[in-house]
Structure 1
């Protein structure tokens, strides 16, 4: 009996000893980072996590809290979570140092979280998530031709076609009374665009309310957000959400597999010569003997999800901002009328003449960037802004926070497109809605051409106003989107009839 009692005591003591050692380890980590400014930890072990978890549960916008911390504690801010410490870098010097150089890889722990989603392979080793620089460089070099100026100019026909389909759908609602979500409509048109120009798919999301793709992407993005809560996939009351997210990922990958197989067969039969994203993915597959179908699907999913959600959010935020600033709306509509008149199809050359619209789109991205920031991994100790940052640290960069800081932008909460006029001082490494440096977004020119075509047609055809009573709050749902969906009412402008002629 005494032996059994001693064994039981030992079994009880071992976990307590392990926990005590872990607490000592956490205390040592604190000592390494406590010289870096930051808000008081709410918990010794959990650090700042309880604050963030509460805000996520209440759908409160955590980036505004980080903005408050940046204003209070300075441009280098510490974030604690268990034994890990992340450091927010919110200075132009830091952004230039870490984002402009290939020496600082993406953090494999952070981006590894979206390799799988609740155990279902999601973005895998796609262009956004891959952290190995050599592998990323191969992928990027392979994709570059599909984003060349020549190819993008050739997309104008599709941009016009799909934007025109959106205008037809909006005309059905343009009685000045019907209320609808602009975010929903923008999501559908950008989904149709990316499906056709990137993969040769005709989804018809604008015409078919029952198509499963918009809901699948929405579920996936919700899953990305909810997955931040620890152990959520094991909570019994969350199993319905987990199941729907996994089914949505499987749907996208299944359709992607079908699309890839069909395109491969067409290429083998000599029937396919298009230079789109899918063609470049398959070209890389042929060159890279080690590539497999799962890796090819990773990039299919990456471009499909990232290629429409972010642009839809930007367009919705732009409509929201213009409806709140009638003087800016009037000025940009005058520019659109001057450049386009009653012209139905927009030419590539027209885009360069819509300079004020370009400024508006850039200002929208400053205040409401769909992707708030990016993350890097620091392998060796570094000093930035006179603050020593230890080796093996996650570095967080936020264009959302820097875009709203008084030290970088005068009256930062005011929507002012003239900040981006050709005579205005250029933002110095404090504005990066598409990231910066070698890992900047490959599709940024594509996205802004598409956004400009859609916005120009919308401004040409319609007067719009916001439905009263909206909160205008922001929601972090994998990307930053308007919480209320930008509920609108439309009326036709006098030019609209001529545009249909």
Structure 2
């Protein structure tokens, strides 16, 4: 036998062995998927389209057709009840629409964030994304240490000191809108409020001035790319392996790298200022640095840990507030009576003042109702999840320990059983004397893991909206889409394009 023949025979045997091993590994995996199915098959839910891929083909088809997956989840909740399951490979997600269970699991610290979403958010397509930051940390002690360190940057005393910055940045938006009004052109409100909220978080959290209303920046596009990649990474675990997706996967990795490299530079410069004994602000960036506690002997993991929180606050501190503002403008433009009532409150409390004080914000009760109702219909972060530690029976259905439980504010906020005429925009639902929603409204989550920045976000939103209502009339441009776009966070699909004009006040 020649050497070539021997080599060919050996290669054929090795390939045959690999195929044999792969075949039995595949059979073993299929058996495991079947075992998982049996464990959850007593839970109601829509039929699986595929034994292996479960319901993910339905998600991808909906996304491809520019639909909203959350509407499908809502339809399933109305059809299958308070508990239903969704399958993706060997993963099972159990949707729970039950206020008592929301209270039990979200208000307690004993239910950790689940491993499925943790893995998909820790990194995207091999590039570290949110890592073990405040949103994703599963270990309670690790999370609690971060939260305790970050709390001073979100105290009421510190937030009160930010009112001036909120006013200053909002004034730049008003100047921009005044120019739009004078030119009788149109304003793409989603883009404008995106730039303002990003300007605010970069200034008050990281001490940088980018002036995004006047200057171009790669950050808005990088954030959108990361969020879009996050959706595909969660709903299609094989997304990165298809050649047609490789260009987009590369874009997502580059966007993640941009945010993390920017964070590394800003953290380094601030650390130099801290070590130099300079006067540094008590902002999020300073708190991120203090969280490492060993600035002089940092390990690589310590550096990554700081960057995790940088990216978390960079995205979460901007995206959700911008989307809330855009949806709020859209709904006020669609409801002239509500708009007029909100304008009257602003006129009565703010008048023609340019500087809105912290105390003024507390008096804008109806505007608060409008903003809360906006988040009810459009919870920009539509849900959260937890891992069940023990078997639990909900509405007569047993959910086994270890299950990933999904709690969707989008679903519960749009169900007739919790809100009368749920698709109607009605701020009076949140009147101070109205009954408070019982654990079916949680746009910032609930309990110990609720959003640390929710008061920050609502202060910022109030300042921007109060100034907008004080100065301008706005009318939606006909023909644009009023539907929702899903980028993990929810945003207006049409961009909220408005014709803007100056308000005429009494006596003018």
- 1:494 alignment partner in structure 2: 504
Within a 5 Å distance, the mapping from 1:285-324 to structure 2 comes to 285-286=292-293, 292-324=302-334
Do structure 1's residue 374 and structure 2's residue 384 form an aligned pair? Answer: yes
- 1:470 alignment partner in structure 2: 480
Do structure 1's residue 217 and structure 2's residue 223 form an aligned pair? Answer: yes
Match of 2:59 among 52, 56, 59: 52
**How far apart are residue 24 of structure 1 and its match?**
3.2
**How far apart are residue 42 of structure 1 and its match?**
1.6
- 1:233 alignment partner in structure 2: 240
Aligned length: 496
Q: Deviations over 1:322-353 (max 9, x none)?
A: 00100000110000000011000000000111
- 1:43 alignment partner in structure 2: 50
Do structure 1's residue 345 and structure 2's residue 358 form an aligned pair? Answer: no
Is the contact between residue 104 and residue 377 of structure 1 (CA under 8 Å) also seen in structure 2? Answer: yes
Q: Distance in 2 between matches of 1:152 and 1:287?
A: 27
**How far apart are residue 240 of structure 1 and its match?**
2.7
Is the contact between residue 336 and residue 459 of structure 1 (CA under 8 Å) also seen in structure 2? Answer: yes
**How far apart are residue 377 of structure 1 and its match?**
1.0
- 1:455 alignment partner in structure 2: 465
Decide whether aligned partners of structure 1 residues 240 and 495 sit closer, same or farther in structure 2, where only a CA change above 3 A counts.
farther
Within a 5 Å distance, the mapping from 1:402-441 to structure 2 comes to 402-441=412-451
- 1:262 alignment partner in structure 2: 269
Decide whether aligned partners of structure 1 residues 13 and 294 sit closer, same or farther in structure 2, where only a CA change above 3 A counts.
closer
Q: Distance in 1 between matches of 2:394 and 2:500?
A: 50
**How far apart are residue 287 of structure 1 and its match?**
5.8
Q: Distance in 1 between matches of 2:15 and 2:163?
A: 74
Decide whether aligned partners of structure 1 residues 434 and 320 sit closer, same or farther in structure 2, where only a CA change above 3 A counts.
same
2:246 match: secondary structure: helix
Within a 5 Å distance, the mapping from 1:357-368 to structure 2 comes to 357-368=367-378
Q: Deviations over 1:121-156 (max 9, x none)?
A: 211111111111110000000000110000000000
Q: Distance in 2 between matches of 1:442 and 1:13?
A: 52
2:180 match: secondary structure: coil
Is the contact between residue 45 and residue 81 of structure 1 (CA under 8 Å) also seen in structure 2? Answer: yes
**How far apart are residue 10 of structure 1 and its match?**
7.0
Moved more, 41-50 or 174-183: 174-183
- Unaligned regions of 5+ residues in structure 1, if any? none
Q: Distance in 2 between matches of 1:284 and 1:10?
A: 51
Decide whether aligned partners of structure 1 residues 204 and 83 sit closer, same or farther in structure 2, where only a CA change above 3 A counts.
same
Is the contact between residue 339 and residue 350 of structure 1 (CA under 8 Å) also seen in structure 2? Answer: yes
Q: Distance in 2 between matches of 1:74 and 1:254?
A: 46
Q: Distance in 2 between matches of 1:207 and 1:374?
A: 36
Decide whether aligned partners of structure 1 residues 232 and 78 sit closer, same or farther in structure 2, where only a CA change above 3 A counts.
closer
Q: Distance in 1 between matches of 2:327 and 2:448?
A: 27
Decide whether aligned partners of structure 1 residues 44 and 248 sit closer, same or farther in structure 2, where only a CA change above 3 A counts.
closer
**How far apart are residue 29 of structure 1 and its match?**
2.1
1:102 match: secondary structure: coil
Q: TM-score, normalised by structure 1?
A: 0.94
Moved more, 24-33 or 306-315: 24-33
Moved more, 5-14 or 284-293: 5-14
Do structure 1's residue 481 and structure 2's residue 485 form an aligned pair? Answer: no
Is the contact between residue 346 and residue 453 of structure 1 (CA under 8 Å) also seen in structure 2? Answer: yes
- 1:152 alignment partner in structure 2: 159
- 1:32 alignment partner in structure 2: 39
Decide whether aligned partners of structure 1 residues 495 and 44 sit closer, same or farther in structure 2, where only a CA change above 3 A counts.
same
Decide whether aligned partners of structure 1 residues 279 and 19 sit closer, same or farther in structure 2, where only a CA change above 3 A counts.
closer
Is the contact between residue 187 and residue 500 of structure 2 (CA under 8 Å) also seen in structure 1? Answer: no
Is the contact between residue 462 and residue 496 of structure 1 (CA under 8 Å) also seen in structure 2? Answer: no
Moved more, 478-487 or 283-292: 283-292
- 2:213 alignment partner in structure 1: 206
- 1:443 alignment partner in structure 2: 453
Give the aligned CA root-mean-square deviation in angstroms: 2.2
**How far apart are residue 20 of structure 1 and its match?**
3.6
